[in-house]
Structure 1
Amino acid sequence: MKGFHIVVLLSSAVLRVSAAPAPELVTCGEEGGPAAARLAMHRINENHDHGYKFRLQKIQSHGVEKVDGGCNLELQLNLLETVCYNINPKPFEDCQIRGEAERAVMANCTVQFSIRNNDANLTKYECDTRQVKTNQEMMMLCPDCPMLVPLNSVDGLKSVKEAVSKFNQNTTNQHYYILKEVGRIRVGHVLGLGMHYYTEFELVETHCPMGSRINPEACQPLCPDRAHHAFCQSSYSNATGLKSVACDFYPPSNTTALGPGEQEPLCRHHGGGHPPHVGHGSPCLPTPPGGDGHPPHVGHGHGPPPPGSDPRTHSPCIPPPRVGGGHGGRHHGGDGKDDKEKQHHGPPFGSKQHFHPFHPFHPFHRCRGSDPALHPICPWPRSGHRPGHRPSHRQDD
């Protein structure tokens, strides 16, 4: 069989960032609902620093509670996920909503505002993020459409790892890049060619100069405001390997030149220190017995463990999920609901689907979510948020 040609496309994305929207009056009347919803969308996307930006689909309901000096608002909002990753500077209003065949994602959000003396404060929001169609529904509508699988799928991350390696081999960048976050992994079967993986992921620039002998996976990322970032898409076949990688680059927000003899500052990142290594001998990815290229299962990854595995074991690199909920799915329910969720949202390939004990740069379990293939919108305020320190929207008469 003739091999596939590997194409690495590297493009610079120069996007115009629109000015901040002019303040809108958020009132206690019915007319204040749309303005409050738009303000909520800006806050949600500002806080949503993993995964993709969202756009407002519709206001489901709008409730007002009158109090002395103003009111409390509660909105029920329906949101749809866009194709813009969170590092993309394009305003979320201009981002394309993901199509159904690409596995559309929605979020139902309850948003609360406090309005006092013309001061509108977003006090709380909670969202339920899920796929618009379940795997079973998509199989009925589009049997050939690739399905989303958990973000730590072994074969999915294997394809990402090869794409990152190819990226670093085929660029003129000054520094190596490492994987920061996997955005999504889709998998589908191509007749005669086996399983194909379509991945989207974020890379971050490191301190390591291109061409140095250090393993890029051991490199320390530059400070977030000093680093270039890249958002990439790759295609991989189990039969023929990596097929293509295409990336958009985003420049750092801080472009101040270093002074003579000055070195790049070191920043403390989430999780502390270096990101986990991937490869043989790594504490996050043990050398697999038999050399078959698949690490042993480490339980409580994302999705159900393979038959015969010990569900009490968990990876040293991924914390065990919370009982009753976690980004990795719920495994401890007693009412059968969790099993139904796993049937609807879990991997479509049954016991053959294994799970990778490695997640790149940030901890995987950031907040609760029922679908391990998605980055959910996390509740706000986040844990540890200072009371009274809330985003506000001052409105002058």
Structure 2
Amino acid sequence: MKALNVLVLLASVVLLCRASPVLEPVMCNEDHSAAAARLAVHDINKHHKHGYKFRLSEIKETKMDKVEEGCTIELHLDLLETKCHSISPKHFEDCETRHVTERAVIANCTVMMAVKDGNATVPRYDCDTRQEKTNREMSRMCPDCPVLTPLNSPEALTAIEKAVHEENINSTNEHFYVLQEVGRVMSGWMSSQGMYYSSEFVIVETHCPMGSRIAIQACDPLCPDRARHAFCRSSYTRGSGLQSVDCEYYPALNTTALGPGEKEPRCQYPHLMHLPRPAGHPSPAVHHPSAGGGRPPPPPHAHGHGQGPPSFPGSGPPPHAHGHGHSSFAGSGPPPHAHGHGHGPPSFAGSAPPPHAHGHGPPSFAGGQGPPPHAKGPTNRERVLPFFIGPCNGFLAYSDPALHPICPKPLPEPRNIPELERP
């Protein structure tokens, strides 16, 4: 494990040292499309600090208007989500995209660009992030394929919690790691094992040294530039528990040694969310297995990320773009997946009502059978927020909770989020 971690770190350093591709200048002429689109995708990925990087799929339309000392350009782009998480040092243009059976995610973006005195800037963009195929469409193509599950699904979080626990026990890291973000969760049904979950998530290095005994809540992550991060994949079945966990570690961006008597700075992670523990479940302490006994699992961290077609002020109603809703609760059968899907570029309208979500029936599972029996509704203790004030300031409330959206630029002010229903 130690040799593998060193190898991964060296590979990551090589990627970090690669020069960023040179961007072609954007000109105010009829050949502007390719250079403008490339700059737009670079800007989108630069500000996309959660979820996965995106690549350009297609330039749908461009419109240029000449103004004094330059021009304005409106771009309508189709982007594809890649397999590279935003923490990966790999350049997005070198990242692999997902096949449709891997539940590919696309984004339809409208980008406004300004070119003045030969310098191009991207003052605003607006993207509709959604699954390429709805569950109903996928069930016709591949009845046994898994589906995307909400990022704050309690049972999925339990599976990820066990994976983080296992990684901390078996790694040779100097510090304890905690969950920073759930990237995506695929779930399905196996006749022999029940529900299964294939998860992708990010863990971050904390101040707590391995071998110490301290409450998990006191293990604050190191500052983002000084912390090592790892992108992990795990598999879990309800029948057999955790099957595997594999993590790829990335070096810290800032490796400057602290001076004599200098303490590690403290920072806050805006997207590090904690799922409340039910009553009767005390917070476990952190200690290394060598100190005696096994390490209690860390508490789950809930990450809800809304997405959908936001609006900029200025014009008419939003397009007919429909998000994909999911909800899942611990202990129940496979999560229901009501999906709609939208087409067309997003609008810059700011006063229109939220998009209308259109539901579809649940997908088929292995063997063409329906969901397992004994599905139950959530109790108050199992109730979770459908979204959090997170990457998009809670702006994209009516969105697919299984995805990480591309947040609009500029980012709107936070919405007023209703309180959790209390038991």
The answer to whether TM tops 0.5 is: yes
Per the alignment, residue 174 of structure 1 pairs with 174
What code does the residue aligned with 1:58 have? E
Q: CA shift at 1:121, angstroms?
A: 1.4
User: 2:150·2:328 contact (CA, 8 Å) conserved in 1?
Assistant: no
Taking the aligned partners of 1:248 and 1:361, their CA distance within structure 2 comes to 27
Per the alignment, residue 314 of structure 1 pairs with none
Aligned in 2, Cα 1:95/1:256: closer, same or farther, shift over 3 Å?
Answer: same
1:211-263 per-position Cα deviation (integer Å, ceiling 9, x unaligned): 11113354111000110001101100101111100100011000011223322
Identify the match of residue 8 of structure 2 among 7, 12, 15: 12
What code does the residue aligned with 1:76 have? H
Per the alignment, residue 189 of structure 1 pairs with 189
Aligned in 2, Cα 1:79/1:23: closer, same or farther, shift over 3 Å?
Answer: closer
Q: In structure 1, the residue corresponding to 2:159 is in which secondary structure?
A: helix
Matched, 1:207 2:236: no
Per the alignment, residue 51 of structure 1 pairs with 51
Aligned in 2, Cα 1:189/1:270: closer, same or farther, shift over 3 Å?
Answer: same
Taking the aligned partners of 2:53 and 2:179, their CA distance within structure 1 comes to 20
Q: CA shift at 1:27, angstroms?
A: 1.2
Per the alignment, residue 225 of structure 1 pairs with 225
User: 1:179·1:361 contact (CA, 8 Å) conserved in 2?
Assistant: no
Q: CA shift at 1:384, angstroms?
A: 6.2
Per the alignment, residue 378 of structure 1 pairs with 407
Aligned in 2, Cα 1:303/1:250: closer, same or farther, shift over 3 Å?
Answer: same
Aligned in 2, Cα 1:150/1:275: closer, same or farther, shift over 3 Å?
Answer: closer
1:337-388 per-position Cα deviation (integer Å, ceiling 9, x unaligned): 32x146589x996965756637999837644162110000000012369xxx
Structural mapping, 1:106-125, within 5 Å = 106-125=106-125
Structural mapping, 1:276-355, within 5 Å = 276=274, 279-281=277-279, 303=326, 337-338=356-357, 340-341=358-359, 352=376
Per the alignment, residue 311 of structure 1 pairs with none
Aligned in 2, Cα 1:379/1:259: closer, same or farther, shift over 3 Å?
Answer: same
Q: CA shift at 1:66, angstroms?
A: 1.6
Structure 1: 4+ residue segments shifted above 6 A: 282-285, 358-362
Matched, 1:264 2:264: yes
Taking the aligned partners of 2:360 and 2:282, their CA distance within structure 1 comes to 26
The TM-score with structure 1 as length reference comes to 0.75
Q: Which 5+ residue runs of structure 1 have no aligned equivalent?
A: 1-8, 286-294, 307-332, 386-397
Q: In structure 2, the residue corresponding to 1:93 is in which secondary structure?
A: helix
Q: CA shift at 1:60, angstroms?
A: 0.3
User: 1:181·1:361 contact (CA, 8 Å) conserved in 2?
Assistant: no
Aligned in 2, Cα 1:47/1:356: closer, same or farther, shift over 3 Å?
Answer: farther
Q: In structure 1, the residue corresponding to 2:61 is in which secondary structure?
A: strand
Taking the aligned partners of 1:154 and 1:120, their CA distance within structure 2 comes to 45
Matched, 1:60 2:60: yes
Per the alignment, residue 346 of structure 2 pairs with none
What code does the residue aligned with 1:111 have? V
1:158-192 per-position Cα deviation (integer Å, ceiling 9, x unaligned): 10111111111111111100101101111011222
Aligned in 2, Cα 1:219/1:377: closer, same or farther, shift over 3 Å?
Answer: same
Q: In structure 2, the residue corresponding to 1:73 is in which secondary structure?
A: strand
Taking the aligned partners of 1:223 and 1:256, their CA distance within structure 2 comes to 13
Taking the aligned partners of 2:278 and 2:213, their CA distance within structure 1 comes to 18
Taking the aligned partners of 1:245 and 1:361, their CA distance within structure 2 comes to 27
% identical aligned pairs:
47
Q: CA shift at 1:43, angstroms?
A: 0.6
Taking the aligned partners of 2:376 and 2:391, their CA distance within structure 1 comes to 22
Q: CA shift at 1:266, angstroms?
A: 1.1
The TM-score with structure 2 as length reference comes to 0.71
Per the alignment, residue 363 of structure 1 pairs with 390
Taking the aligned partners of 2:273 and 2:219, their CA distance within structure 1 comes to 8
1:92-118 per-position Cα deviation (integer Å, ceiling 9, x unaligned): 000000111110000000001111221
Aligned in 2, Cα 1:150/1:193: closer, same or farther, shift over 3 Å?
Answer: same
Matched, 1:238 2:238: yes
1:40-71 per-position Cα deviation (integer Å, ceiling 9, x unaligned): 11110010001000000010001011222221
Structural mapping, 1:142-161, within 5 Å = 142-161=142-161
Q: In structure 1, the residue corresponding to 2:211 is in which secondary structure?
A: coil
What code does the residue aligned with 1:239 have? G
Q: In structure 2, the residue corresponding to 1:12 is in which secondary structure?
A: helix
Taking the aligned partners of 1:214 and 1:382, their CA distance within structure 2 comes to 37
Aligned in 2, Cα 1:334/1:151: closer, same or farther, shift over 3 Å?
Answer: closer
Q: In structure 1, the residue corresponding to 2:114 is in which secondary structure?
A: strand
Structural mapping, 1:31-50, within 5 Å = 31-50=31-50
Q: Which 5+ residue runs of structure 2 have no aligned equivalent?
A: 284-299, 307-324, 330-352, 415-423
Aligned in 2, Cα 1:277/1:215: closer, same or farther, shift over 3 Å?
Answer: farther
Q: 63-72 or 102-111: which moved more?
A: 63-72
Please report the RMSD computed on the Cα atoms of aligned residues, expressed in angstroms.
3.4
Alignment: residue pair count: 333
Q: CA shift at 1:19, angstroms?
A: 1.0
